[in-house]
Amino acid sequence: MRYFLHLSYNGSKFCGWQIQPNEPSVQESLETAFFHLLKEKIGITGCGRTDTGVHAKSYYAHFDFRELSNKEIEDLVFKLNRYFGFGIRILNIFRMKPEAHARFDAGSRTYKYYIANQKQPFNNDFSYYYPRVLNIEKMNQACQKLREYTDFTSFSKLHTQVNNNNCTIISAFWEREGDDIIVFTIEANRFLRNMVRSIVGTLIEVGFERICIEEFCKIIEAKDRNRAGVSVPAKALFLYNIKYEKELFFQI
């Protein structure tokens, strides 16, 4: 039977989701835990890659195993959470339709990026300290322009193995969270490697008024990563939400 594993994780000590040679990954950690607890080698397919150091508040992965009762699912969630430290939390396990796929059936993904304009003694590990004043109004004007484009080559890591660099941006905006944090939220049907962090780095250029909205558009149109801003640190980026059709679930 097919199951969806719903989890969250702190990416600080991982090389990302996907298994990498000689580096700790979330995928490898989960597969090791499943082997120890279920005494069977089980492959786990994630909803997508996250880069080294990026966090996930909500992440889905699928795996196949024999049919489990509600009590067995509850016990497995408990045992997995006991197996891991605080870096990974298993939120739930759902029974799925056999054709459900964690990656290909994701309708959209939402990321959030946190910028602090004041020092964060207790939150520095999860925000990017940028003490200069940023013009959020202009940054949001630039965000609206993102929805007018589909080719985001300028914001993609070079030499990635994808068929194209086309994405549909559903929404993108900045908002204040308290007195000293601003948050960037972006939802799209898919994301390229390093895309969100390079978009944020370029929007900072807009907010600091180094470039204007027209120049921001020209950067997108150039389809040249060298034209865009720097890639901001991974530690402040969170995969925040993933949407699936309810029809894929046997239970919600």
Q: Is 69 inside a domain boundary?
A: yes
Q: Do 138 and 220 share a domain, yes or no? A: yes
Measure the N-to-C terminal CA separation of the chain; round to a whole number of Å. Answer: 16
Q: How many domains does the chain fold into?
A: 2
Q: Do 123 and 62 share a domain, yes or no? A: no
Which range marks the domain in which residue 225 is found? 111-240
Q: Is 251 inside a domain boundary?
A: no
The answer to whether the Cα torsion of 69, 70, 74, 75 is positive or negative is negative
Q: Do 28 and 88 share a domain, yes or no? A: yes
Q: Do 233 and 188 share a domain, yes or no? A: yes
Q: Do 235 and 123 share a domain, yes or no? A: yes
- Residue whose entry in the numeric block shows the structure tokens 């040679």: 21
Q: Do 28 and 59 share a domain, yes or no? A: yes
The answer to whether residue 180 is catalytic is no
Q: Is 248 inside a domain boundary?
A: no
Q: Look at residues 104, 129, 154 and tell me which one is the last residue of a structural domain.
A: 104
Q: What is the pLDDT along the chain (252 residues), one digit of tens a residue?
A: 999 999 999 999 999 999 888 889 999 999 999 999 999 999 999 999 899 999 999 999 999 999 999 999 999 999 999 999 899 999 999 999 999 999 999 999 999 999 999 999 988 999 999 999 999 999 999 999 999 999 999 999 876 667 788 999 999 999 999 889 999 999 999 999 999 999 999 999 999 999 999 999 999 999 999 999 999 999 999 999 999 999 999 864
- Quick one: pLDDT at residue 17? 93
Q: Is 247 inside a domain boundary?
A: no
> Exactly one of 51, 64, 125, 180 is catalytic; which is it?
51
Q: Is 250 inside a domain boundary?
A: no
Q: Do 48 and 134 share a domain, yes or no? A: no
- Quick one: pLDDT at residue 199? 97
CA proximity to 205, closest of 149, 129, 130: 130
Kindly report, residue by residue over 7-37, the tens digit of the pLDDT.
999 999 999 999 888 889 999 999 999 999 9
Q: Is 199 inside a domain boundary?
A: yes
Q: Look at residues 56, 78, 104 and tell me which one is the last residue of a structural domain.
A: 104
Q: Is 249 inside a domain boundary?
A: no
Q: Do 115 and 100 share a domain, yes or no? A: no
Q: Do 116 and 63 share a domain, yes or no? A: no
Q: Is 97 inside a domain boundary?
A: yes
Q: Do 99 and 115 share a domain, yes or no? A: no
CA separation for the pair 35, 91 (Å, rounded): 19
CATH number of the domain that residue 59 is part of: 3.30.70.580
Q: Look at residues 104, 121, 153 and tell me which one is the last residue of a structural domain.
A: 104
- Quick one: pLDDT at residue 160? 62
0.85 exceeded by pTM: yes
Q: Do 69 and 121 share a domain, yes or no? A: no
Q: Do 117 and 98 share a domain, yes or no? A: no
